[in-house]
Structure 1
Amino acid sequence: MQILIRADASTEIGSGHIMRCLTFADMLRKEGATVYFVCRELKGHLCGLIEAKGYHCLRLPHLKQTFDQQKDAQETLLLLEFNGLKFDIVIIDHYLIDSLWEQAVRTAIPNIMVIDDLANRKHDCDILLDQNYFKNFEIRYDDLVPTGCNKLLGLKYLLLRPEFYEENTVIDKKCKPIQDLLIFYGGSDPTNETVKVLEALDQIKLTDLTIRIVVGLSNANLKLIENRCRDRNFHFYVQIDYLAQLMKKADLALGAGGVTMWERCYLGLPSIITVVAENQKASTEAAAKYGAVWNLGWHENVTVSNLVDIINNAIENPDVLKNMSIKAKQLLKSDVKYRTHPVIEAIINILR
């Protein structure tokens, strides 16, 4: 299988698309696939990380003007032609790409898969993956994809890193006082939620409480956060590949919505969520309504005082966190194991 992935990262976009695609690429490589990436060199791109993981990354130049998907498609096709590359399928994880780009690239690549969660534009694709939980998630794409498109919708198709699938990784959260608190708001944390939490922790009694702060290399406030953690004797981690291990140790997490929210739910880790992007709102609200997380709401409305109150509430009510853990694992069906992940099966089937 020759597979191409088109995705971007930047300080503005964040790192989520690339991190998800790296997880996907690792799964595909285990099935014998050769995987290439095409990424644009935006400020905060992760091309170096992709290459460090052992993948070829074909680079598109930084854009000085608004994203033009027709031009992007042409530049992508020229890159493939220049390098003499042929692919069986292209996987697109990009909010600015729709059927216009896909139809142009289909002239060179016969099969197209789209990863999306917005359901706000048409796609010309053979497989559509939306691994989120929404109200009416089964019908969101009915008028947006071709009739024969294989729609992979819902948490059954969630792409988790291998560490989350390892035997005995699911946490059994007992009703006990909080001893370990994990804070991670994504690789770039563009809305600066980590610093907000650090300010809240300054106002909370932290006796016998271990604090772990995780950031990505693209976090603009990395040095500031590192210094604050050193001053408070908090554990500080940068661009790690063992987040599941920290989640297993933690009794409570604070973070954003998105894939990492589902990772915490899969492990039964109680979470306090701040919504930092529009595409996180509906899924976070649905998870909170189910009882799997606490939703603080839109980041601009979340204050340091809100964080102090909800963290203190969590510390004082371990029984509530135990129930949240149970609901999170139920929602994610954490006890279900797959020999071959259903998304990988879908790709294998279309390329037969």
Structure 2
Amino acid sequence: MDARGRRLLVRADASTTLGAGHVMRTLTLAEAWRDRGGEALFVCREAPGNLGELVQARGHGLRLLPPEAVAPAQDALQTLQASADWRGAAPLDWALVDHYSLAADWERPWRGPAARVAAIDDLADRAHDVDLLLDQNLGRQATDYDALVPATARRLIGPTHALLRPEFAERRTASLARRANGELRHLVISMGGSDPGGATARCLAALAPAPALPLARVTVVLGPQAQTLAQVRRALAALPLPTELRLNEPDMASLLASADLALGAAGGSAWERCCLGLPTLLLVLADNQVPGARALAAQGAALSLGGPEELPQTLVPALQALSEPARLQPLSRAAAALCDGLGAARVVEALLDEGPGR
């Protein structure tokens, strides 16, 4: 079955304060949908760092809402109005929302304008009126949504449904093969699209006074919404190690595949690292990342360093411990077992399996 002639509307936001995650993962889903012949329109609220240019550069439609946030039902009305010319008279196949501030009150007005409604959630803390619910987090159970979604709603749960770009699955085999020696030479530091709280510079500051480590190089990645470039440059200059700074890295899969260890946020990018079997030191940058960090650590797929304020006590001892090959390899195997990078294709298949709607 393909998606030829079928339409998907995506409501998601990105900004310098929200970060890039919601738009980036729905963009991955939209591209997998388009690969099957479908068409997608993004509706995003106008804000600094909204990633609208990227959406359009990837060949998808875009409508921007006014910058002021409104109540969920009003947001749904604005979205309906903004997309009216694209939707036409016939119902859409799917309206999908990925937004922590939007749930059932946003979804109900789409009954009729869309044949079916879907949501992406990470929190399991609010009700949804949907036909399909995706939560890609480790440790989440389908029963967590028993009181939150209709009994008929299909639930796609866990990192086997993580929305990763296809290049991660393409580089998986080679990335896993090169980890056989368990050496720690190349460290990649990446804190997500917006570098919340200046976490990257805080990592570098904690690393600077470290005793001798076997690292040959450190690569730092800053995303498109990061406002911390100046302070990161200053911190890099103080680091007594060969370093490289990459801005808006276009090929994250190849970079991560070349690394021996990542220091990264405990958000959606964790699944990119797992797909490639890249051992990770996790930094918790938001309260909603705590359960995911705990679940990854419990599975032996990562080591959690806690929050940025704990870095001076936790970072160097962790790096020293992982300098032993016997410590890196088990982390790599456990991480690789959680996610194979094919989640986007599975989610599109589920969207197509749901049929024409009710």
TM-score w.r.t. the length of structure 2 is 0.90
Which has the larger displacement, 93-102 or 39-48? 39-48
Alignment-derived partner of residue 347 in structure 1: 351
Q: CA deviation at 1:351?
A: 3.5
Offset of residue 221 of structure 1:
0.5
Q: Distance in 1 between matches of 2:100 and 2:39?
A: 25
- 1:216 correspondence with 2:223: yes
What is aligned with 2:137?
132
Aligned twin of 2:206: 200
Deviations 1:30-75 (A, max 9, x none): 0011111000012321111111222111000101xx5411111111
Q: Which residue of 1 aligns with 2:258?
A: 249
**CA-CA distance at 1:222 after TM superposition:** 1.9
User: Match of 1:28?
Assistant: 33
Where does structure 1 lack aligned partners over 5 or more consecutive residues? none
Partner of residue 187, structure 1: 193
> Which residue number in structure 2 is paired with residue 117 of structure 1?
122
Return closer, same or farther for 1:203/1:61 CA change in 2, 3 Å cut-off. Answer: same
Maintained 8 Å contact 2:166/2:342 = no
**Shift in Å at residue 12 of structure 1?**
1.6
Task: Indicate the larger mover: 77-86 or 282-291.
Answer: 77-86
The residue matched to 1:88 in structure 2 has which SS? strand
Q: What letter corresponds to residue 68 of structure 1 in structure 2?
A: A
| Post-superposition CA distance 1:15-35 (Å, at most 9, x none) | 100111111111111001111
Give the residue type in structure 2 aligned to 1:74.
L
Aligned partner of residue 268 in structure 1, secondary structure: coil
> Which residue of structure 2 lines up, in the alignment, with residue 166 of structure 1?
170
Match of 2:24 among 12, 19, 22: 19
* Other-structure match for 1:77: 80
How large is the RMSD of aligned CA atoms in angstroms? 2.1
Q: Is 2:310 aligned against 1:310?
A: no
TM-score (norm 1): 0.91
SS in 2 for 1:191: helix
Distance 1:67 1:237 in 2: 36
Farther off after superposition, 32-41 or 220-229: 220-229
Q: Structure 1 pair 245/84, CA: closer, same or farther in 2 (3 Å)?
A: closer
Give SS of 1:39's match. strand
Aligned to 1:6: 11
Which residue of structure 1 lines up, in the alignment, with residue 44 of structure 2? 39
Tell me the amino acid that sits aligned with residue 72 of structure 2: Q
The whole-number CA distance in structure 2 between the counterparts of 1:113 and 1:23 is: 16
Question: Where do 1:140-151 residues align within 5 Å?
Answer: 140-151=144-155
- Asked if structure 2 preserves the Cα contact closer than 8 Å seen for 1:67 and 1:96, the reply is no
**Amino acid of the residue matched to residue 305 of structure 2?**
L
Structure 1 match to 2:297? 288
Separation in structure 2 between the aligned mates of residue 192 and residue 123 of structure 1, nearest angstrom: 34
Alignment check: 8 A CA contact 2:185 2:214 kept? no
Which residue of 57, 60, 64 corresponds with 1:55? 60
In the alignment, the residues of structure 2 paired with residue 308 and residue 197 of structure 1 have an alpha-carbon distance, to the nearest angstrom, of 10
Provide, for residues 266-306 of structure 1, a one-character-per-residue CA deviation record: whole Å limited to 9, x for no partner. 2111100011122221121011011110011234x423332
Shift of 1:228: 4.2
Larger mean CA deviation between 219-228 and 86-95 belongs to 219-228
User: Are 1:108 and 2:129 counterparts?
Assistant: no
- Aligned to 1:57, the other structure's residue is in SS state strand
What is the aligned partner in structure 2 of residue 326 from structure 1? 333
Q: What is the Cα deviation at residue 162 of structure 1?
A: 0.5
What is the SS of the residue equivalent to 1:351?
coil
Q: 2:184 is matched with which residue?
A: 178
Q: Distance in 2 between matches of 1:297 and 1:231?
A: 24
Q: Distance in 2 between matches of 1:60 and 1:306?
A: 43
Native 8 Å contact 1:184 1:256 kept in 2:
yes
Q: CA deviation at 1:331?
A: 2.9
Correspondent of 2:307 among 278, 298, 301: 298
Identity, in percent, stands at 35
Deviation at 1:238, TM superposition (A): 1.3
